[in-house]
Amino acid sequence: MAIISKIRDNGWLVLVIIGGALVAFIMGDFLKGGGAEEPKYGYGTIYGEKVDIEAFNEAVELAEVNSKRAAAQQGQQPQPVDQSAVWRQFVEKLLLEKEFESLGITVSDAEFDAFLYGRDGFSVLPDLEKNFIDPTTKAFNPKLLEKRIQEMMDSDDPEMVKAWEESKKYYIERRMQEKYFSILNQGMYTTSLEAKNEYLAQGEVKNISYVLKRYRDIKPGEFDPSEKQLKAYYEKHKSDRKYQVKVASRKAHFFDILINPSAADTSSHDSTMLLLRAGFIATSAEGDSAYVMNNSDRRFYTSSAFSTALPKTHPQAQQSYITYPAGIDSSFVDAPIGKIVGPYEMDGITSIAKVIGFTYDTINARHILISVDQNEDAASVATKQALADTIMANINDDNFVDYVKQYSDDTGSKEKDGDLGDFYFSSMVQPFAAFVAEKPIGEIGLVQSQFGFHIVQTTDRRGRQYPRLAVVQKTLKPSDGTKEAKDSEAYKLLYSLDEKLSNINDPYKKVEKFDTLAARNGYLSRPMVLTDNDPRINNFVTKYAEDKILELVYAEEVQIGTLISSPIKDKSRHVIAILAGMMSEGEPVYQEVKEAMKQAYIKEQSVKRFKSQMKGKKLADIKDATVVKADISFANPQISSGFEPAVVGAIFAGLKDGERTLPIEGNSGVYVVKLEKTTKAPTAADYEKERDQMLASMRGTLQNQANQALYKLADVIDNRRLFNINVRR
């Protein structure tokens, strides 16, 4: 049965609102198979069937909706949805659905209720348990969950009803996944013999002496093969497993021409900063805000504690709006108000700072928290607001602790009479941080944050004072003239490359010439490999540049040696690229493995020489080699010279104390090893510990390995990028 026929209303994991924790994704069926007029790949294929574009887009839209909803609850700006993450979840959902169907995995209504409410042997789900707490018992109350679900089902708001429907699908799907992976878990086992061997592998130690002739000691060029020899080696070894192309891919070579500021640009920038410094000195405190806003690239000014600056090495620097280089920290110690520091450089930005105040780095405060759940209705929030207002009307220094014990929902500080201990102000949420840094010590006030209502009192400020700064910042950028010069340089170089490559017929010779000419002009050509099933680019800044590379590499009937038609602008650089390879699954093309086989050929000749020099000789008699001692175990095939499983395996394969091996080909070179002494592992009553550890390790990677296996079995192709730029339809 084709998986295209899946119904549209199956769900996947994206956050929706039921008590702050219910989640779901909507995804759908695959596109119905069409005629020759339809795209071959579409957004991608699974088991050779095209993915339903509309269904995937619905999943992305739902992810965006829920991202905005979650951000609003946290009082934050929504983050862009990672469509690649949505794609992975979308595909995994489809793959698992096919498995559920094949195995007949379902969830009955009774099982769903038991799973959701933690009945009949099911544990309460953590994401539900923490959001439906009885205020009296402080324990999970299933009736609160039941009430919330009923409210959503009966709501006049279609979005609320839909949220419950999506959430129900998610929890059914979650239970089906539990059952599926439970089945896989039951198929995993470790035998007593495996456990025993693991115990011995860890506990038995071999004390060895060895000599090593390293491959790196072969003189450069000594065994370099001729073209004829290398092609013969290729014909002999092209079917070897290690050379087989497992994933079809394409390769581009590229280099970049950086658009950096010129010397003239730097001089002009320095002059501008000196003029800005003089203007800042002449500006009064009342004019600081306007001066910063009118002259700074980063238009940020506040005289509050949030203008406090820290050296970049300070533990709290990441939580600070303004930082400065640690090397100029002494300039701010005991600085008078109005002092100008700079210009100074940090992270490519030139800054001029004026000291406008100071903030202590250590604050102590106490508070009472009236917590508000993110999903509480307006009436409930109003009730808690009224409670906070009542407390504020009656609280003072003498009864503060009594109110903490009676009303605070912050269990950590409640045990300490509301004391939050010492902290840096910006480690707290903004409204709270502003109060404790600004208000007079001892003043009690009410602030609201995403956690609820806080009745706060600052009890102490001490330690070092860090400066509050007004900062004018400018970034040194290339001028228009510099950009035009670099544009011209890029085009001239591309035209020159095109002219010189056009006379070469062998496509791989074109690629070699491309690399050579790039180096001759002072640029580094480097490779980029794109897998056909999932062509991702990680070397570029802009989507425009990525698309241009994809167009070059995957254009219809494109050939190796094809040069980009024009320089690709990628923010602060021009990129010039050439299609350098096209690899199909199976035996490799000679040119693609030429260098790897050359190194293998050299290694093979080195092994032959070393073995002839070492065979039949005692360790001390082998020339140009030092005898080294080491202790090794089978579980960790490391020798002091590196990772050497073949060598360690030979030692544990029946070698007796006092015996030495024949020369052994290893990763670092050729070894001859003498086994000095074997220390057996202590006798054990059983091997249950090893069995449990091995089984836990296997089960810990089960889900990831199962997903990888399903991806491989389904031959999943992610074609979204190529489809959207109309390259591979």
Contact of 384 with 452, CB cutoff 8 Å: yes
Residue 120 has pLDDT above 60, yes or no: yes
Distance between CA atoms of residues 86 and 718, nearest Å:
12
Residue 23 has pLDDT above 50, yes or no: no
Residue from 359, 114, 276, 211 nearest 671 by CA: 211
Residue from 525, 539, 531 nearest 577 by CA: 525
Domain 261-477 belongs in CATH node 3.10.50.40: yes
User: For residue range 463-495, what is the model confidence (pLDDT) as tens digits?
Assistant: 889 999 999 999 999 999 999 999 999 999 999
- Going by the DSSP 8-state scheme, the letter that residue 418 receives in this structure is T
Tell me what the mean pLDDT of segment 531-535 comes to: 95
Residue 33 has pLDDT above 50, yes or no: no
Tell the residue number behind the tokens 């490799």, with chain if given.
Answer: 588
Contact of 60 with 436, CB cutoff 8 Å: no
Structure-block tokens of residue 609: 């020489």
Distance between CA atoms of residues 243 and 252, nearest Å:
20
Distance between CA atoms of residues 478 and 486, nearest Å:
10
Share of the chain above pLDDT 70, in %: 94
431 preceded by cis ω (within 30°)? no
Cα pseudo-dihedral 655, 659, 663, 664, rounded to 10: 20
* Three-state SS sequence of 234-271: HHHHCCCHHHCECCCEEEEEEEEEECCCCHHHHHHHHH
User: 249-260+480-586 adopts what CATH topology?
Assistant: Chitinase A; domain 3 (3.10.50)
Residue 569 has pLDDT above 60, yes or no: yes
Contacts made by residues 632-637, CB under 8 angstroms, sequence distance 24+? 632/205, 632/206, 632/208, 633/201, 633/202, 633/203, 633/204, 633/205, 633/206, 634/200, 634/201, 634/204, 635/198, 635/201, 635/202
What is the predicted pLDDT for the residue at 15? 28
User: For residue range 171-211, what is the model confidence (pLDDT) as tens digits?
Assistant: 999 999 999 999 999 999 999 999 999 999 999 999 999 99
The residues, ordered by sequence, that sit 6+ positions from 177 with a Cβ below 8 Å of its Cβ are: 96
Residue 352 has pLDDT above 90, yes or no: yes
What is the predicted pLDDT for the residue at 375? 67
What is the predicted pLDDT for the residue at 73? 58
| pLDDT-wise least confident of 16-20, 314-318, 624-628 | 16-20
Tell me what the mean pLDDT of segment 647-671 comes to: 96
User: For residue range 282-331, what is the model confidence (pLDDT) as tens digits?
Assistant: 999 999 999 999 999 988 898 888 898 999 998 888 878 899 999 999 99
Residue 53 buriedness (CB in 10 A; 0-12 / 13-18 / 19+): middle
Amino acid in position 31: L
User: For residue range 398-436, what is the model confidence (pLDDT) as tens digits?
Assistant: 999 999 998 898 888 888 999 988 888 877 888 888 898
Q: How crowded is residue 260: how many other Cβ atoms within 10 Å of its Cβ?
A: 14
Residue 256 has pLDDT above 80, yes or no: yes
| pLDDT-wise least confident of 16-25, 62-71, 416-425, 552-561 | 16-25
Q: What kind and span of H or E run contains 513?
A: helix 507-520
Residue 29 has pLDDT above 70, yes or no: no
Distance between CA atoms of residues 520 and 500, nearest Å:
13
What is the predicted pLDDT for the residue at 254? 97
Residue 7 has pLDDT above 60, yes or no: no
Residue from 525, 522, 499, 523 nearest 512 by CA: 525
What is the predicted pLDDT for the residue at 74? 57
Phi and psi torsions of 211, nearest 5°: -125, 155
What is the predicted pLDDT for the residue at 31? 34
